Structure 1
Amino acid sequence: MDLRDLLSVLRARWIVIVAATLIGGFLALGMSLLTPPSYQAKVQFYVTVAGGDSAAAAYQGSLGAQQRVQSYAALVESTDITQRVVDTAGADLAPSQVASQTTATADAKTVLLNVAVTNLDPQRALQLAEGFGEVLPEAINRLETPDGGGPALAKLTVVNPPALPTSPIAPKTEQNVAIGLVLGLLAGIGIALLINAFDRRVKSSEQLESIAGKPVVGSIPFRKAEDKEQDAEHIVPFREGHSPAAESFRRLRTNLQFLNVDNPPRVFVLTSSVATEGKSETAINLSLALAESGNRVLLIEADLRRPLVVNYMSMPDKVGLTNILSGQAKFAEVVQETRHDGVDLLACGPLPPNPSELLASDMARHLLDELRSKYDYVIIDSPPLLPVTDGALLARITDGALLVVRSHRTTADQVAQAVDNLAKADAILLGIVTVANKPVKKGSVGYYDSYYYSSKKTSAAGKS
């Protein structure tokens, strides 16, 4: 995955990322508000070691002090010291509790020892820090006094006595919220990438072309309300101007000429992997786009299981294809003229109990050969490829099939299986037609097409 793909995934999953970021921030804020404030009192000691009057002796004393200060820092949390601090401060705490609330730090290059006591009560923190200020020098004096008596070899002196803390050191709400937002953002990005890894839906033309091994010859945009004609919402209003949908079907019409320059497909099937991918709507509007350029087009409703074309075009369906294939009628007796110039319709007719047998019959092959000489284009709307074999059988006796895929809905596995079904039936896959499952986003080619044509339409309306 390159940077462009990563940005595309993050843009597609921006809601997840924003939600995770906000949740992280709110959780951090909630924890900060629920955490009681704690206060810290500090006391600082200076370590000195007895030495001679000479410079060498003074240097040796300084080195000795630096070496001792590290040991004194470890001594602060000892049970004996903390018990004496508890007794001195009069605190109702166990020595282990005092040790857990106390930190001692010493820089190896100095002779300063810093002791900090943290407690929920600022007064208690002060009392314990004062306790260390009294107890620790006495303990060091006792430990550093030789067994035979005499002055102590080292001394601890308080140089910065503790003061009553007035501001809590924790929780740091702003810092915690910032950390929560960052962690939430990282978690959101991780979740988005994880969802994308498990999301098998096709999302791009490049992905489809890689799966099918065929080009994407058409991309139908998301249908908006202004693209829909009253009482016929599945039909693109080609006569009303240059809507994004109308232009997409015109581009598809043009691209069909380049699939085979010497012998472009004239009789072909529109099918899909599964239902509700938009194949029937695509078949209807492609027929209208072809007729718009002066072609005579026949649209055949060959989905003998769930026909939708007649409903979309508001046409009768009492007789049609099944009557011809069963020998009950001739083509001229059942073909219907539509209200669209240049487009005839062969409805499916009565639904048969054996659709696959009818569509694979010699009668179907002879019918298509006959229609090839009567029309410039014959477009066949067939059932989906995965549930039944009808579409593959029809594609085998035509110039091939256009596979309609609804992006961001159909899975890569479904597309691959549909392509495989066509190959097993010795049918030709002409190309892929994508149907958008959601509006285009700003920055994409479709967005600029939509913006241009919408602006053009608005300008025309303003002049009228």
Structure 2
Amino acid sequence: MATADSLSAAPGRRAAADDIVGVVWRRRWIALSTFVAVLASVAALTASLTPAYEATGYMLVTPDRPVSSDFEQTQISSALLTTFEQLLQTQNLADEVKRRVGNRPGMPPEPANALTVEAVTDSQLLRVTTEAETPEAAQLLANTYTQVFQERTRQLASAGASTGKASVAEPATLPTNPVRPRPRLYLAAGALLAALAALGAALAAHRLDRRLEITDSMTEVLGLPIIGRIPQGSGADVERLLQGERLQSRDARAAAEGFRLVLANLTFANVGRRPRSVAIVSSDEQEGKSTVALSVGRAAGELDLPTLLVEADLRRPSLANKSGAGASSPRGFSSLLVHGATMGEAVWAVPDSSMDLLPAGPLPPNPAALLGSEALRDFDRAARERYELVLYDTPPLSVAADASLIASVAEGVVLVVDARRTQRRLAEQAVDQLRRSHTTIFGVVVNRVDPGPFTSGYYAEGPPDEQDGGRLGRAVESSR
């Protein structure tokens, strides 16, 4: 009967096994490459080994005088077998054998090292086995050993130095198959070794990988709810998206639904009320926050929500230029903060959308000082009065204090992480920085996830005449 401890331990063991399987699956390319490399190395080593053939002859050991009883016969035979077994392995005998066989092809340089002698149990036979690189050399070596030893024992018996003799009972036959290498056995052992090496490589890579680990089954990361997963797409589609094109591809529809879900989950994350201003942040650059900000804004535009996308990166702005906005106007977000322009003069209407884009404007010498002023709060209040939703595209949290200053003014933030490259240390520091500033974190958007589960379903196709499925596009790559 199973004990309580064993029953309680069983789920733990299953969970540990599931974790290992999950790690191997996530590192499957490392595991596969390691498996192939180890197995190929074993196969190459096997192919490079010199074949070895074994030939076996038998010698019959008999007393040279009559015995009076079976017991005496057994005792004498046992003593002779032990004696002759040792004499067969002497260096003098090996030297004589070497002289007779000469330097034939495949012959071992030292015959003594290629010899095995053993007494056959419950018999008067000695088994003489030799090894060589060719079948002919192995046969010749074994037969030469038995022939030479037969002559030696006869000489000993004639001289009265022995009470028995050894004669060739069965000469060695020509071997047909090598005893080494054994490709099937070696490859089977190599496959087992390769599997263990693959498992070790996967676990080592997992241990050494400093990236944030996110699986399909996770609902939280860094203690925060996941409010959206955006499938991996191409940089070319991102450029087309930023220019306002509508994409109708299968991946574009899946990405569009992903951003609509982010917008819906923002409502749930804010106690049933859609937030009026949201800062889109990331721990590092190249994680896709600008594209997330633009695409969530387009999703809000589909609902006819007046939306303002603010390019609040006053250090290395790029979203406005890629969108074609503000390229010919010197006014922008920085202009409003220094009271040099009105909002109506600085914003740019995004085509085919209810969203306006506010470019960064002239870059200030000290962005943190400008964003830390009361002007940012005044701007946020004015923007909320004019728009239903205000989205701030911020610089990375690891770069400077800019994103934290903007987050402290907005109702809350959405943290964008890259499923393929975000570093755990930077992500943890980003969350800690936001929490120290008492910022509400609505959740995490996981960017660049495996597109398989998101683009292979029935609903990813959409009706043939649907025109808005590709409006958001495959916005999963970073716009920076």
Do structure 1's residue 440 and structure 2's residue 446 form an aligned pair?
Answer: no
User: RMSD of the alignment, in Å?
Assistant: 3.7
1:49–1:62 Cα contact (<8 Å) kept:
no
What is the Cα deviation at residue 321 of structure 1? Answer: 1.2
Q: Which residue of 2 aligns with 1:117?
A: 130
1:401 partnered with 2:413: yes
Counterparts of 1:156 and 1:76 in 2: how far apart (Å)?
11
**Offset of 1:96 from its aligned partner?**
7.8
Answering whether residue 402 of structure 2 is matched by residue 390 of structure 1, we say yes
Q: Give, in whole Å, the separation in 1 of the partners of 2:299 and 2:100.
A: 96
Aligned to 2:366: 354
Per the normalisation by structure 1, the TM-score is 0.83
Taking a change above 3 Å as real, the CA distance of residues 126 and 335 of structure 1, as seen in their structure-2 partners, is: closer
- Write out per-residue CA displacement over residues 111-136 of structure 1, whole angstroms, 9 at most, x where no aligned residue: 54322111224443333212221233
Choose from 359, 364, 371 the match for 2:376.
364
Q: 1:459 and 1:62 mapped to 2: Cα distance?
A: 100
Structure 1 residue 78: deviation in Å?
A: 2.4
Match of 2:115 in 1: 102
State the match for 2:52 in structure 1: 38
Q: Which residue of 2 aligns with 1:331?
A: 343
Matches within 5 A, 1:40-439: 40-48=54-62, 57-59=69-71, 61-62=73-74, 65=77, 69=81, 72-89=84-101, 97-108=110-121, 111-139=124-152, 149=160, 152=163, 154-205=164-215, 212-223=222-233, 228=237, 231-232=240-241, 237=246, 243-317=253-327, 318-436=330-448, 439=450
Aligned-partner Cα distance in 2 for 1:247–1:236: 17
Verify the 8 A CA contact 1:296 1:342 in the aligned structure 2: yes
Percentage of matched positions with identical amino acids = 28
Counterparts of 1:458 and 1:141, CA distance in 2:
101
Alignment CA distance shift 1:255-1:48 (3 Å): farther
**Any stretches of 5+ residues in structure 1 without a counterpart?**
none
Cα deviation per residue 1:190-237 (whole Å; 9 max; x = unaligned)? 323322221112241589877621111111111259x94884357684
- Contact residue 269 and residue 395 of structure 1 kept, 8 A: yes
What is the CA distance between 1:320 and its match in structure 2? 1.5
Matched length: 449
Amino acid at match of 2:373: S
After TM superposition, the score normalised by the length of structure 2 is 0.80
List per-residue Cα deviations over 1:213-270 (Å, max 9, x = no partner). Answer: 1111111111259x94884357684899981001101111111111132555321100
In structure 2, what is the Cα distance between the partners aligned to 1:265 and 1:164?
89
Question: What is the one-letter code of the residue matched to 1:450?
Answer: S
| CA distance in 2 between partners of 1:64 and 1:289 (Å) | 101
1:284 Cα deviation after fit: 0.5
SS at match of 1:303: coil
Distance 1:238 1:272 in 2: 26
Match of 2:10 in 1: none
Structure 1 contact 51–58 (Cα < 8 Å) conserved: no
Offset at residue 36 of structure 1 (A) = 3.9
Q: Which runs of 5+ in 2 are unaligned?
A: 1-14, 468-480
The answer to whether the Cα contact below 8 Å between 1:51 and 1:60 also exists between their aligned partners in 2 is no
What is aligned with 2:8?
none
Contact 2:128–2:146 at 8 Å: present in 1 too? Answer: no
Amino acid at match of 2:255: A
2:473 aligns with none
1:86: how far off? 2.7
- Say which SS state the counterpart of residue 110 (structure 2) adopts: helix
Amino acid at match of 2:133: L
CA distance in structure 2 between the aligned counterparts of 1:14 and 1:51, rounded to whole angstroms: 74
Instruction: Determine the structure 1 residue equivalent to 2:6.
Output: none
